Structures are given as C-alpha cells and as structure tokens.
Homo-oligomer: A and B are copies of this chain.
Amino acid sequence: MDERTEDQNLPYSVFAKACPSRGTLEHVTGRWGALTLGALHEGSLRFNELRRRVDGVSEKMLSQTLHALERDGLVHREAQPTNPPRVDYELTPLGHEVAERLIGLIQFVEGRMDYVLEARRHYDATRGAR
C-alpha cells in the first residue's frame, strides 16, 4: 500500500497523502503563492500594492493566498487601526528562506527555457506531424 513511506522514512513526507506538508507545498508552489512569495521577498507591501505587483490576481485569490501563507507562518500581516486602514504584508524569516529556494528553482527553470522550448519543438515535430 504505502511502500513509499517505508523507503523514505521522513518525518513529514509530501508523498504521504495525508501529510500536512503536501498542503503547505501547494500554498508555496501554487501560482499565486509563488508569485506572492516572490513579490514579498523583495520587501513588504500593502494589499493593493501586492495586487498590482502580482498582475492578474483577483482580490479573492490574493486574499485567500495571503491567509494560507499567513496561517502557515510564512507571511506576517501588520494591520494598523487607522482610517483608512493600512495593512502591510511581509515575509517571516521562514518565509524568506522558502522564497529563496523557490526563487532558485524558478530562476533555474527560466535559465533553461531555451532548452525546454527546443525540446517542445522537437516533441511537437515528432509526435504531432506524423
């Protein structure tokens, strides 16, 4: 059944369905999670700044993403009880570490896109045109 849990006897394994790390990973690597972490890694931002920076995100998704990241302890929410309200979001130390690794992965992939696109061209030429 779960031979996988055997060969990787890690405390929390994404390979285990019921493991909470699966969820956190998805918050981190999901489209909006990744972009949000990327944006906040450069500095703290307010809600609407973030919304502009992470272009294409809706209020709902940004709000949802921020809640998930905050709940996971990756983002800190600083609300000032002023009027109009001002809320700043920033990464926690852990959030920064996660963001660094994520950005590393992203930049690695971006740096190989030529190779990837070439592979795609080849794949499409061999598979499609036959």
Contact = CB atoms under 8 A, between A and B. Distances in A.
A93 B89 CA distance: 39
Interface residues of A, number: 56
Interface of A: 1-4, 10-15, 17, 20-22, 24-26, 28-31, 34-35, 38, 42, 53, 55-56, 70-74, 94, 97-98, 101-102, 104-113, 115-120, 123-124
Copies in the assembly, this chain: 2
Contacts of A10: 107, 110
A115 B4 contact: no
A16 to B, nearest CB: 9
A20 B108 contact: no
Contacts of A115: 73, 94
